[in-house]
Amino acid sequence: MAKTATKVAATKAASHKAAASGKAAGMKNFEERLERLEVLGEQIRKTDIPLDEALKAFEEGIKLARTLEKDLEKIDSRIEILMNSAEDQADDSPELELFAMED
């Protein structure tokens, strides 16, 4: 029984660690994609780039911009949920007036 509990605890710890590293990897991936988008923008601004290469860079940039925008919308939603839950917790303070003794 103790071995089973230890295995369950180890499994939970590993899944939490994987989730945390997944979030960190997701953020790194976001930053890498943003950096790639900046590089593509610099390439397109060059005057000596052939038209077909500029078009390919533009297409890749549009795809990256769309995925980054979706990611930002998800982040914005998460922030809004967190902010609203913090406000709800502040509003949940007990109303002691109801129990105040009348003189």
- Measured at the CA of 91, the angle between CA 85 and CA 92, to 5 degrees, comes to 90
**What confidence tens digit (pLDDT) does each residue in 23-72 have?**
566 667 989 999 999 999 999 999 999 999 999 999 999 999 999 999 99
pTM, two decimal places: 0.56
State how far the Cα of 64 lies from the Cα of 59, in Å rounded to an integer.
9
Q: How far apart are the first and last CA of the chain?
A: 60
Specify the pLDDT at position 85. Answer: 84
pLDDT given for residue 18 in this prediction: 47
Angle between helices 2-45 and 51-91 (to 10 degrees): 130
What pLDDT does residue 86 have?
A: 72
Average pLDDT, whole number, for the chain?
A: 77
Q: How many residues would you count in the chain? A: 103
Q: How far is CA 70 from CA 20, 61, 66, 84, 88, in A?
A: 21, 14, 6, 21, 27
Q: Which pLDDT belongs to residue 92?
A: 60
Q: What is the residue type of 20?
A: A
Q: pLDDT value at position 19?
A: 47
